[in-house]
Amino acid sequence: MSEENITKQELHELPEPREHRMPWGLIVLGTGLALSLGAALYLHTNLVNLRMETATLEKEVASLRQTLSNNDISVAQSIGNLRTELDSARKETVSTAEQAKVAARRQAEAIASRVTNKLAEKQEEQQKVLTQELDQIKTRADLATARLTDITSEVSTVKTAVATNRTELDKTISDLHRTTGDLGVMSGLIATNSKELAALREIGERDYFEFNLQKKAGTQKVGDIMVALKKSDPKRNRFTLEIVADDKRVEKKDRTINEPVQFYVVSKARIPYELVVNEVRKDVIVGYLATPKVKTPARRL
């Protein structure tokens, strides 16, 4: 048999307890009742404390609500005051802005007025200066026009004179003639007076040197040669002179007026020089020397 079965059997075989043993049931029951009463009392105490704490909390909540309500009212009042201040500030700002606009507009108008006045004064001054300058220009223009008229008249006069002189020069040139010189060479155009000599210079074929030789003056330089008057015969319009060129002396005897007296300057030209006497006076002859423009030395033979 198992140990469990043996125990149960032994238990059944035990003698029943006697009535004089302790009443454990009552003790347990009393103990349980006491514990229940203690627990109930503890719970009641806790409940009372809880109710007191709840009442306290409710008072605090009410106070807090009152405080919050008061704070809300204060905040609302502060917001209202702030809104009032903002409205007032906005109105003041708008008013100040309007005043600033008005002041700025007035200042701008004043500045514009001053600028306009200054511009008007400046324009008036410039107009005066411009008018004066225009008057001066007009005066100068009138003077220039008058001067131009005078110059035009002078130019017309000069043109007329030039045309007249040219006509006379052409006539003078047409009157000039060539002749054979004392060396048998055909001469250039011969001038018989100062007017015809001026015409020859105008043509420009040769260089011309005028002279007035006096016998008492001895040898004189004419152009690039030396000439000395030896004798003059006013009645017959004849003369004798001595020419020095290339260190050589050549005597031209008994020559007549307007006759080309020809001689070569070998070191300077192949074309003969020509000396023409237009006037013969006592111990004086007047005329000119004509030399080639281009002086090319002649060959020496």
| pLDDT above 90 for 241 | yes
Residue 246 lies in domain = 179-292
Per-residue pLDDT, averaged over 135-152, amounts to 82
> What is the model's pLDDT at position 301?
42
Question: Which of residues 157, 175, 193 is at a domain's end?
Answer: 175
- Amino acid letter, 12: H
> What is the model's pLDDT at position 8?
54
> What is the model's pLDDT at position 294?
73
> What is the model's pLDDT at position 5?
53
Question: Which of residues 149, 175, 201 is at a domain's end?
Answer: 175
Q: Report the range of poorest mean pLDDT among 2-6, 204-208, 275-279.
A: 2-6
In this structure, the answer to whether residues 94 and 67 fall within a common structural domain is yes
- Domain membership of residue 15 (yes or no) is no
**Displacement of CA 242 from its chain's centroid (Å):** 76
In this structure, the answer to whether residues 139 and 246 fall within a common structural domain is no
Number of domain units in the chain: 2
- Domain membership of residue 23 (yes or no) is no
In this structure, the answer to whether residues 151 and 250 fall within a common structural domain is no
| pLDDT above 50 for 63 | yes
In this structure, the answer to whether residues 163 and 205 fall within a common structural domain is no
> What is the model's pLDDT at position 201?
92
Considering the entire predicted model, what is its pTM? 0.45
In this structure, the answer to whether residues 72 and 121 fall within a common structural domain is yes
In this structure, the answer to whether residues 119 and 74 fall within a common structural domain is yes
In this structure, the answer to whether residues 171 and 191 fall within a common structural domain is no
218: left (phi over 0), alpha (psi -120 to 50) or beta: left
In this structure, the answer to whether residues 52 and 165 fall within a common structural domain is yes
Per-residue pLDDT, averaged over 11-40, amounts to 70
Q: Does residue 200 contact residue 250 with C-beta atoms inside 8 Å?
A: no
Mean pLDDT over each residue of the chain, to the nearest integer: 81
- Domain membership of residue 41 (yes or no) is no
In this structure, the answer to whether residues 233 and 153 fall within a common structural domain is no
In this structure, the answer to whether residues 147 and 209 fall within a common structural domain is no
In this structure, the answer to whether residues 220 and 271 fall within a common structural domain is yes
CA-CA-CA-CA dihedral for 27, 33, 38, 43, to nearest 10: 150
> What is the model's pLDDT at position 169?
55
More confident residue, 234 or 78: 234
| pLDDT above 60 for 125 | yes
Q: Does residue 285 contact residue 275 with C-beta atoms inside 8 Å?
A: no
- Domain membership of residue 17 (yes or no) is no
| pLDDT above 90 for 1 | no
More confident residue, 133 or 174: 133
Question: Which of residues 116, 147, 175 is at a domain's end?
Answer: 175
- Domain membership of residue 211 (yes or no) is yes
- Domain membership of residue 258 (yes or no) is yes
In this structure, the answer to whether residues 274 and 188 fall within a common structural domain is yes
- Residue 273: partners with Cβ closer than 8 Å, 6 or more residues away: 223, 225, 245, 262, 263, 264, 265, 289, 290, 291, 292
pLDDT level of residue 300 (50, 70, 90 thresholds): very low
- Domain membership of residue 300 (yes or no) is no
Q: Render pLDDT for 206-240 as a digit per residue (tens, 0 to 9).
A: 999 999 999 999 999 999 999 999 999 999 999 99
Q: Render pLDDT for 247-278 as a digit per residue (tens, 0 to 9).
A: 899 999 999 999 999 999 887 778 899 999 99
